[in-house]
Amino acid sequence: MKIDKSAILGVFVVGAVLGLGGTAAAARTLRIHVDSFKRGGTMPNKYSFCMPAAQGHTTAGPDISPSVSWSKGPRGTKSYAIILYDSDSPAEHRDLMNKEGATMTAAVKRHDFYHWVLVDIPPNIRSLKEGADSSARVLHGKPATPAAAGVRGLNDYTKVTAANDAMKGKYYGYDGPCPPWNDAVVHHYHFTVYALSVKSLGLPTDFDGPAALSAMKGKILAQGHELGLYTQNPAKGAKISK
């Protein structure tokens, strides 16, 4: 399949990469737009769960969900879904994260970290306003309902806070970036919108990103992708909000 080079950091079909809905050629492309940053650009601090600080390296972020819009799905579209994940979350040596004197190098193995899982979005909705799914960082997580549109799934803060009594809980919907401040890797945040052939994926209350992706198999009519970057490491361009 010939890929337009100008679209690599913008909108493109990722079905073949994720193994969803057959080959990439089997799904049409949605045009995705995320406000406030350029394609492949740095996400503003206001969308973050944690953000750089002059003292102590990091502090709580505003955790506002960004405005997202997408083009109309093909005939037969009965719902949409949004998945946001970080493909650079450390999968090992997590004891070194945010540790003085240590650096998370590019050699550290990485895995996906799901930040936003929203499914069963009605077909007449093709945009979400800024703050629609998160207007603040909520201790112990936001509830499953109500959502501005669709049904919220659990994001991976549910897993990483499980051993922290001060933060543990069920984190539904959107919670933004919080990469380690000592990470030498700038993290990549993948916004993907799917047009689906079913009104509902019929998922249980406590579903997560992988469960949603599994349920989408064979139901994807179109999809599109947008990329944002974020870091808390000043050496990699982190900006401290005034």
Over the stretch 144-159, which tens digit does the pLDDT of each residue have? 988 889 999 999 999 9
Does position 212 have pLDDT exceeding 80, yes or no?
yes
Q: Is 128 helix (H, G, I), strand (E, B) or coil?
A: strand
Do the domain assignments include residue 237?
Answer: no
Contact 179, 230 (CB under 8 A): yes
* Residue 37: predicted pLDDT: 85
* 236 lies in some domain: no
For the chain, what is the domain count? Answer: 1
Tell me, yes or no, whether 232 lies in a domain: no
Give the H or E element holding residue 210.
Answer: helix 209-216
State the pLDDT at residue 26: 58
Percentage of the chain lying above the pLDDT 70 cut: 88
- Residue 124 in domain: yes
The verdict on residue 231 lying in a domain is no
pLDDT higher than 60, residue 224: yes
Q: Which residues share a beta bridge with 90?
A: 110
Contact 109, 91 (CB under 8 A): yes
> Once rounded to an integer, what is the mean pLDDT over residues 221-238?
96
Residue 235 lies in a domain: no
Domain encompassing residue 124: 5-225
Left if phi > 0, otherwise alpha if psi is -120 to 50, otherwise beta: which for 192? beta
**CATH number (domain holding residue 106):** 3.90.280.10
What pLDDT is recorded for position 7?
A: 38
The per-residue pLDDT of the chain, averaged, comes to: 90
Q: 29, 225 in Cβ contact below 8 A?
A: no
Q: Is residue 242 part of a domain?
A: no
202 domain residue, yes or no: yes
- pLDDT for residue 12: 31
Q: How many angstroms separate the CA atoms of 146 and 151, rounded?
A: 8
Instruction: Give the H or E element holding residue 213.
Output: helix 209-216
Token readout for 32 is 């995705």
Give the Å distances, CA to CA, from 124 to 40, 73, 149, 174.
28, 10, 11, 21
Determine the Cα–Cα distance for residues 156 and 43; give it in Å rounded to an integer.
19
* pLDDT at res. 146: 82
CA distance 197 to 77: 5
